[in-house]
């Protein structure tokens, strides 16, 4: 290439969603769900993909998956669970975001599993999914629709042994999470969960807590400052 020739521009959407990554997703279902039409799925996705932006591709892939999964959400959730790859390495401590190609599965749960009758199954599946790819954007519809139940679940998850699950507690409840809808809960409500997570041994978690508190500072600076002061005082009193 000469200096006068334009360099090829990097495309995030094509890097994350392409024939290779879509093929891996299709292979997951092809191996575990005998009626899955892999060729038809890939043909449909590849035909629709070029004209779509990143988030549109997530929705589109979820739509084509929904067309092949059982109509009953409980059955479909079982199919997804069987198709999932192994969880991300639980012994890493940071920068292990997972494969973006898992995102359409979260989108599927957020749209088809939002009914109250499916709540427990949806939440359990999101927990499994977040150990493969972060689900902070897809738990937010449940926080909006069922705030008390979902906050109660997240409070329990703050003690989960898997750090991806613990991170979801903070990241999913961030009041100003980028590229995600706002959630109609008071910024004070997640504070008891952040109290558990601010000194987490995993940097992936504590960075989320820092970002969460930064969000709070833009909405309620006094709350952010008092929380930091309380954590600092608790640290000074900790004999360890």
The pLDDT, as a whole number, for residue 98 is 85
Q: Give the start-to-end residue ranges of the domains of the chain.
A: 11-135, 146-240
The whole-angstrom separation of Cα 109 and Cα 105 is 6
The pLDDT, as a whole number, for residue 93 is 67
**Rounded to the nearest 5°, which phi and psi values hold at 98?**
95, -175
Centroid of chain to Cα 117: 22
From the list 165, 230, 218, 161, the residue with the least C-alpha distance to 191 is 230
The pLDDT, as a whole number, for residue 2 is 47
The pLDDT, as a whole number, for residue 8 is 64
The pLDDT, as a whole number, for residue 95 is 63
The pLDDT, as a whole number, for residue 1 is 43
Q: Where does 146-240 sit in CATH, by number?
A: 1.25.40.290
Rg (CA), the chain: 20
The pLDDT, as a whole number, for residue 237 is 61
Residues present in the chain in total: 240
Chunked in runs of 10, what are the mean pLDDT values of the chain (240 residues)?
Answer: 56 94 97 97 97 97 98 98 92 76 98 96 98 96 97 98 96 95 95 97 95 98 97 72
The pLDDT, as a whole number, for residue 188 is 97
The pLDDT, as a whole number, for residue 4 is 47
Distances (CA, A) of 45 to 23, 40, 56, 59: 10, 9, 12, 11
């Amino acid at each position: 290439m000469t200096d006068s020739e334009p360099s090829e521009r990097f495309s995030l959407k094509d890097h994350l969603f392409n024939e290779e990554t879509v093929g891996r997703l299709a292979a997951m279902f092809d191996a575990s769900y005998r009626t899955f039409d892999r060729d038809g799925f890939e043909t449909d996705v590849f035909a629709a993909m070029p004209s779509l932006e990143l988030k549109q591709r997530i929705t589109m892939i979820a739509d084509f998956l929904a067309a092949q999964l059982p109509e009953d959400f409980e059955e479909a959730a079982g199919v997804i669970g069987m198709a999932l790859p192994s969880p991300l390495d639980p012994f890493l401590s940071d920068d292990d975001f997972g494969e973006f190609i898992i995102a359409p599965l979260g989108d599927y749960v957020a749209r088809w599993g939002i009914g109250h009758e499916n709540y427990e199954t949806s939440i359990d599946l999101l927990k499994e999914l977040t150990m493969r790819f972060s689900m902070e954007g897809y738990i937010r519809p449940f926080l909006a629709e069922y705030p008390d139940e979902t906050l109660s679940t997240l409070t329990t998850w703050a003690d989960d042994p898997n750090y991806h699950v613990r991170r979801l507690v903070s990241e999913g409840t961030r009041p100003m999470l980028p590229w995600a809808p706002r959630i109609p809960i008071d910024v004070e409500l997640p504070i008891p969960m952040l109290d558990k997570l601010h000194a987490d041994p995993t940097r992936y978690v504590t960075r989320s807590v820092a970002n969460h508190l930064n969000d709070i500072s833009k909405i309620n600076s006094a709350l952010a400052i008092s929380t930091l002061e309380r954590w600092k005082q608790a640290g000074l009193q900790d004999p360890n």
